[in-house]
Structure 1
């Protein structure tokens, strides 16, 4: 109740009362001055008090009623501004305010807010376009790196494994000739051959490790997330509740969203000590909505985001902002963690 009395509407009502009572004070001073100095026959002291009382009784409720009705328009406009700003904070940059055509300051403010929303929408589109271009450049860099890696692997195969296999062939042929003549020497060479074969096998395993496919390569986002969760089920006792829509997005958006989900699930697996995890990926009219929550131990979200060591949370926030989205993390110790991500289309 006290908060409402501090609103702009009631401030204007108090101002109206100040004006009424100040005007009555001026009238009363003039009346008493006229009565005391000029003493006209038509002016009585009782009439002055009667006039002042009647003005107070009539003007106070009438003035309050008039200003209360007139400020309803201002209150409604300010409420519309507040809702509009909240929608912008949620990433709904296509929202618009309607002009009242009253040609007052509030209409000018309305036009400026609409212009601001258009600029924010353009900036989001620019960010997403830059993210797409960055993804294309990253893909070109990846192709170049792949070619370079293939050349390196070819050199390693030639310099390491190929030469070891050639040495094994020569030593095995020489050992065959020594088996009957020098069995002790042949045994030593066979042991050396065994060690060289083991070394070649280790070299081959190390090379094959570089050839593992990149996750989410060539598959849709929803399939990549489901596949990631299936992998986590094998490595943990977490129970997952999934609600995932099929969504077609640009490669850069899919990569950013997947990495954010991956980081969130990784944090749950390492730190939350949770039993149940809920993952939602919803395709809405103007945005992509991702919600992840768990029933773990929770943490103080504000403190974690401010700490320099919270690289995972900061990386999620940076990835989200890079494609024009908003990320909100709600968590309290002992009450689990809730993550909401909104990405405009």
Structure 2
């Protein structure tokens, strides 16, 4: 074996170096697959064989190097390349074993013929070494089979180009431009092979492997080694399978294409209307093309509602057409209508709750006050205190007159409260317009910070609306002015509303919280209910400014825990006169009740407006008895009862309420309340019940006593019969969510409190509780609660 130096060897060495660099980089970046690496390795060996072939001078070594590099390795590169192209184009299903075997049949036959070429000369008819300048080169005269395998390889390369081009044009792969680049590079290799065969004098050596390595480097480096992947659903398939009707228009508004759904919807075929103007094709659908300024429009057809919208088609920054998409939105519209109905129903429920609260806070309290005052008047008449009775009658007449006015305003507001479905500001503006028209007082409303509707919740809006009404009523009655202002502003994350007038103002003594009018007290109560406050500034003779501040809504205030204190000895049972603490958020009712109790010889040690203040004054005065309202701001009667009884169990607590249908009746008694009294009891009946309490008798209104005893007896009997000692753990039969709900119910939480804590609807809580009772094979909710407390060691209201 004799070697020679041929400068062309550096072409092959550069090709080998480039290919190895690409292989190493692609492996490290994890962007290569087995077929692409196999192709690069085969081309590198091809270049190495050709480098050896031009470096030797003896015929045997040169021919062996050529045949191994070109025929045994090089002729199979197009086949491997085609396998890669088919796989990345998403046609892997084509690559069955029989087809792959058929693809490699001719290259394998060529290998067999090469090994026996000396017998028949079908591949190479003649071979010799010739001088080409100062170098010896291998000269081959191809036989007939050589042309067969050459044409076959060219056909395979054409197939690579076709597969990649089709995949790119149909958007079947992730990077279509890269696929077109691969097709272009393959075409350049194909042209180079044809030139070498047809014009051999143009080339001193065969540079086919070099051309392939350059093509691979171009597609890899040019597209930053992006790994080609198949798009799961090609764009054409999406268009064909879409249920929406789609029409493709050019920039002259002519129909270029449409999907099958559009053909069915409009009853036309694309072959018959292609290239025609949209106005001509859809002559019977003017709603789709008449108004060119509206991009989205709705129309009805065959009992269904449809939405049509246009989308621009851009090529770079140039508008090349539009896409018309039509979809059936009937189900969406029905869902929107149902949602609107549900929202309306929710508004109705919230309105009912508000009306109940209004009746409780206004009419109910006035009637309770009147009932108590009647008892005081009768007592005064019997004892000959006619002057005192006349004074009480005058005061009661004043209260009844105010109640009558309150009823008229309430009826008016009940009619107008439905305006809240249009929004707070809309409702307020309508009220102000009517106010100006009826009373000739001009009210200017300013909103410089552009406070939006959604920044004021429905409950806050209702209370703020009523506060503004009350403030303007005071302007009408007392300010002696014909103009007022309402200003909405944001201050440190709060909403501040000011009602300003330049009238005569309010006397300073009226601003005292203990002596303020009923209207001003109600305004403060309403603000407290939504976590806000009311401040009234009224310099003498300089008008009045009512400032309402609403904090960021944080939900209900958490129940606060009490702390321990010293306990006093409870009064003896034979002591008739009791030291009583009154707890109610309505000053009018407490005033009448205090007069009644004082007249009967009881000692009223203090008054409290909510549960937290009741706890503080219970620690301070340690009364024998607390008469407590159920519904109060900040801390309700239930929570206050539990806290006070936990700290001072010797104090008796009687709950006062207007309604005998309170759902919290049993919870109040379980929390430690000694009884329950209705506020509409006559004064004599109330005093009689309190005297009975001093003697150790449980205090229940007659119409409630039977209900309470029957319910408790029934519940206790069922629980005792059902809940035994040998119980399964809840986790064995209940889901985690059901276990959590049962735990909260057993702890004394209401369904509403549970829904807020778990972020689910109240209906879901009720449904899960029913499922819990069914799974545990109980008959009542009380049985399930007893079971939970027994198995999970839960205390009531823990």
Higher-Rg member (1/2): 2
Q: TM-score, normalised by structure 1?
A: 0.38
Q: Which structure's residues are more often helix, by fraction? A: 1
Q: Which has the higher contact order (CA 8 A, sep 6+)?
A: 1
- Structure with bigger strand share is 2
**TM-score normalized by the length of structure 2:** 0.17
